Amino acid sequence: MFDFLIQGFGVALSPLNLGLAFLGALLGTLFGALPGIGPINGIAILMPLAYTLGLPAESALILLAGIYTGSEYGGRMSSILLNVPGDAGAVMTTLDGHPLAKKGLAGPALGLSAVSSFVGATIAILGLTLFAPLLAEVAVMFGPAEFFALMVFAFASMSVMMGKDPTKTAIGAVLGVLIGTVGIDSGTGVLRYTFGMPELYDGIDFVVMIIGLFAISEILLMLEHANRKDSDGDIPPLGRVFISLKEVLYCKGAMLRSGLIGFIIGVLPGTGASVAGAVSYTTEKRLSDKEGTFGTGDMRGLAAPEAANNAAAAGSFVPMLTLGIPGSGTTAVLLGALMLYNITPGPMMFSERPEVAGGLIASLYIGNLVLLALNLPLAGVFARVLTIPRWVLVPGIAILAFVGVYQLHSDLTAIYLMLIIGVFGYLLRKLGFSLAPVILGYVLGGLMEQNLRRALSISGGDVEILWRSGISLGLWIAAAALLVLPWLLPKLLSKLQPSGKPLEQVEDD
């Protein structure tokens, strides 16, 4: 049964392919670390190169898969160090990662994210090896109605992030949803809020959004603090550099649970690392955040989204390899690369081209080991970014942000848009809003609307379709439970136990 994997390891362990896996991991880390350049660009840039160099199909795929997984590792660096997510999957990483860096724990935070990325990816690759065909069957059971219910569930799970100021969280999420409505309506092709500008037809690009919202507003905050002489804007002390085994073990539950969540979400076509990060973070906060330390630099709050986004990246290979359907934008590009080699992924690939399917999966195992080995010692080096004086760092981030956005669009409108969103983000932060709900509203709102519209076009407007299947019904119930139980349970329990033990002691760890 696992002949293809044995053959695959034979392929992946050849000197050339091992070298390519290493190169891919290194380049991927770099692409992921640079804001604006994500795995899609990295692969699209290198795909023609690999083809022109005449690399065999499995070698090219190993290189490209290395870039993909590597960029999921790299995306966290600017999230943790600068509070600027390097790619879509790393948005949630900022929530606890950056506070850790501010506490002087940048090195351990980077190390921990490398370990959690490794754990998450390993869970997903094991899942991919063992259950790929089975999971593919389940994935196609998710139709528009089920995706809509999933998005409702995701929004409901966000309620845990309400925290100190529920009104501001809700307003932030709604602002995000509003921004997400700009562009051509995906159902009818009607233009919404585009003001006759073709540049807005495709909506506000994700990269423009996160770079504006996070990077530009961060630069503005830094500029504001640069004038002051107080300690507030000072460089944090660069404490110890390496993560301790105790800290890793402290987060093991978060990693395992989030790896599983990330994998499942990654397998579903159309949802990716950003959704996986959000759901795993909120789940973990709900389960483990007894002292309210999430958001202030809790290691588990960093481990959860990191494990999840890497698991989702590996999970999106399932529909691609088994059904020939890309599970994410990046696997869509990989699919294109395979087509160039006249290989059509699908159920037949495992029997017809086992060296390609097996080689790819084997290289994912090897690539992750390489990435762990690469990233643990490098954590100390990268953490030193924080010791760069502000007058170098601020223009540096600005250059990366401008170049990143410009190379995506070859168009100045995107730059202006990024600046406007940046000022908007700066104002939001000054008013005490958290940016994560805005970005989640933007991502989830779009998906939720599209799938609601699709479901209703299928049923001809009959809303019953939304809870007809068992999957969607289950998700609705789970969503309702998320909203009601935290409020209801303590009341019920206090009635049962007059002494009024709070909820925390009843839930198991």
Partner 1 sequence: MKINKAFRHCSGLALLGSLLLAGGAQAQSDSTECIAPAKPGGGYDLTCRLAANGLQETGLIDKPMAVSYMPGGIGAVAYNHVNGVRTDDPNLIVAASTGAAVNLALGKFGQYDATEVRWLGALGVDYGAIVVNADAPWQNLDELMADLRDNPGEIAFGAGGTIGSQDWMKAALTAKAADISPKSLRYVAFEGGGEALAALLGDHIQVFTGDLSELKSQLESGKIRVLAALSEERMNGPYAEIPTAAEQGYDVQWPIWRGYYMGPEVDDEAYYTWVQRFTALSEDPKFAELREARGLFPMSRFGPDFDSYVQEQVGEFKALADEVGLSQ
Per-residue buried b or exposed e for 229-252, using 16+ beta carbons within 10 Å of the residue's own CB: eeeeeeeeebeebebeeebbeebe
Question: How many residues does the structure list for the chain?
Answer: 509
Smallest distance from partner 1 to CB 125, Å? 22
Question: What is the smallest separation between the CB atom of 353 and partner 1, expressed in angstroms?
Answer: 11
Closest CB to partner 1 among residues 250, 341: 341
DSSP assignment, residue 76? H
CB of 493 to partner 1, least distance (A): 41
Q: Number of C-alpha atoms within 13 angstroms, CB side, residue 24?
A: 32
Task: Report the C-alpha gap between 203 and 25 in whole angstroms.
Answer: 32
CB of 315 to partner 1, least distance (A): 15
Rounded distance, CA 506 to CA 509, Å?
9
CB-wise, 244 or 351, nearer to partner 1? Answer: 351
CB of 163 to partner 1, least distance (A): 30
Identify which of residues 309 and 450 has a Cβ nearer to partner 1 in the complex. 450
Residues 6+ apart with CB under 8 A from 358: 4, 5, 6, 7, 8, 9, 11, 350
Whose tokens are 């499995």? That residue is: 58
Take residue 463 and report the two structure tokens written for it: 């809303």
- Beta carbon of residue 197, minimum distance to partner 1 (angstroms, whole number): 8
Q: Cβ contacts of residue 408 below 8 Å, gap of 6+?
A: 36, 41, 205, 207, 208, 414
Q: How far is the CB of 201 from partner 1 (least distance, A)?
A: 3
Q: Please, what is the minimum distance in Å from the beta carbon of residue 184 to partner 1?
A: 6
In Å, how far are 314, 321, 325, 331, 351 from 347, measured between CA atoms? 18, 7, 11, 16, 8
CB of 320 to partner 1, least distance (A): 9
Burial (CB count within 10 angstroms: exposed 0-12, middle 13-18, buried 19+), residue 143? middle
Please give the DSSP secondary-structure letter assigned to residue 478.
H
- Which of 15/196 has CB closer to partner 1? 196
Cβ-based nearer residue to partner 1, 42 or 295: 42
CA distances from 200 to 87, 172, 354, 417, 442 (A): 21, 22, 44, 10, 15
Q: Decide whether 102 or 454 has the Cβ nearer to partner 1.
A: 454
C-alpha–C-alpha distance, residues 37 and 76, integer Å: 13
Classified as helix, coil or strand, 203 is coil
Q: Which is nearer to partner 1, 18 or 332 (CB)?
A: 332
The nearer residue to partner 1, 220 or 362, going by C-beta atoms, is 220
Task: With H, G, I as helix, E, B as strand and everything else as coil, classify residue 141.
Answer: coil
Complex with partner 1: residue 86 or 108, whichever CB lies closer: 86
